[in-house]
Amino acid sequence: MMDFVLLGFSDTPNLQRTLFGVFLLIYLTIFVCNSIIIIITKINSDLHTPMYFFLGNFSFLEICYVTVTIPRMLMDLWTQKGHISFLACAIQMGFFFIFGGTECLLLTVMAYDRYVAICNPLHYALVMNHKVCIQLVAASWITVVPVAIGQTWKVFSLPFCASHTIDHFFCDVPPVLQLACDDTFVKEAADFVVADTVVFVMAPLLLIGVSYVKIISNILKLSSARGRSKAFSTCSSHLTVVVLFYGSATISYLQPKPNQSEEMGKLISLFYTILIPILNPIIYTLRNKDIEKALRKLLAKLLLWF
C-alpha cells in the first residue's frame, strides 16, 4: 500500500487556475444539461416512451461517468499536489470501468430499441414494454460490475516497485501499468484488461453495427421521403454519440502503447472523459424535436413562476 502522485497538467503550472476554471465550467454544464434531460423525460408525459426512458438513464450515467474523474482533477489543479492513495486510485479505476462499460452496453440497448421501433413497429409496444426496459437497463449495470472488479484487482495486484508518479490526470490502466516492475505480470494484466475491453467495446459495437445496417436498410425501403427523414432523425443523434464514444475508446485502449505518447494519451482521455460527455446532451437536444418541445414547455413554466 502506497500513495501515488497524479502529474495531471503539472507541466503547465501557469495554466493551473485557468484549467481549473475551464474544467469546472465544463463539469457544471454537463451536470446541469443532463439533469435537465432527466427532469423533462420524467415530468413530460409525451416523453414516457422507451427511447426517452433509456435517454434519461443515459444522462444519469453521464453524470456518474464524469464525476469519477473531473472532481478529483479539479482538486489536484487547485491544490497542485496530486497525491492519491492506493485505495482511492483503485476505487477511481473500478468506477471508471463500471460506468464506461455500462455506457457501452446502454448504447447497445438504445440501438436495439431503435431497431425494434423501425424494423418491427407493430410489435414495438409489446417487445419494449416497461418491464423489459427496466430489465435491459438493470442488466447493463449489473453485468459490468464483476468484470470491472476483476480488471481493477488484476491491475492493483501487480508489484509496484518503480516510480509512484502517474503521468495522467486520473488512474487509468495504461499509466498505472507503467509503474509495475514485473514484465510477466504486467503483460498478463494488460492482456486481461484488453480481452475484457474487446468484450465490452468491440462486441457491443458489432451489435450496434448490425442493428444499424438493418435499420438503414429498412428506412431506405420506405416510400415516403417524410417517413425516411423522420426515421433517420430518431437515429442520427444516437449514432453520432456512438461514433464519438467508441471511436475515442478504441483509439485509447486498443492502440499499441509504444505508438502513443503520454501527452497524446492525455489528449485522447480528455476527449472521451470530458469533451464527449459535454457534446452528448447538446447532440440529443439540438437534433431532437421532442426534447426541444419539452424544453420550451419547461422554460415557459419557469418564466410563469417568476
Query: What is the average pLDDT score of the chain?
Result: 83
Please name the helix (run of DSSP H) or strand (run of DSSP E) that holds residue 3, with its range, or none: strand 3-6
Domain limits for position 229: 3-305
Position 193 confidence tier, pLDDT thresholds 50, 70, 90:
low
The mean pLDDT of 191-219, rounded to a whole number, is: 80
* SS3 at position 181: coil
CATH code at position 301: 1.20.1070.10
| pLDDT for res 188 | 63
| pLDDT for res 182 | 66
Position 287 confidence tier, pLDDT thresholds 50, 70, 90:
low
Q: How far is CA 291 from the centre of its chain?
A: 21
State if pTM tops 0.85: yes
Q: Which three cell numbers stand for residue 41?
A: 423525460
- Quick: pLDDT tens for 147-173: 888 888 888 888 887 678 888 889 988
- Quick: pLDDT tens for 94-136: 999 899 889 989 999 999 999 998 888 889 999 999 999 999 9
Domains in the chain: how many in total? 1
Position 258 confidence tier, pLDDT thresholds 50, 70, 90:
very low
- Quick: pLDDT tens for 76-94: 888 888 889 999 999 999 9
Q: Give the C-alpha separation, 96 to 233, whole Å.
A: 31
Q: In what order do the strands lie in the sheet with 3-6?
A: 83-85, 3-6, 165-166
Q: Positive or negative CA dihedral for 168, 171, 174, 177?
A: positive
Residue 82 has what DSSP assignment?
-
- Quick: pLDDT tens for 23-36: 999 999 999 989 98
Q: Give the C-alpha separation, 71 to 89, whole Å.
A: 14
User: What is the bridge-based pairing of β-strands 83-85 and 165-166?
Assistant: unpaired
Beta bridge partners of 83: 5
* SS3 at position 165: strand
* 183: pLDDT strictly greater than 70: no
* 256: pLDDT strictly greater than 60: no
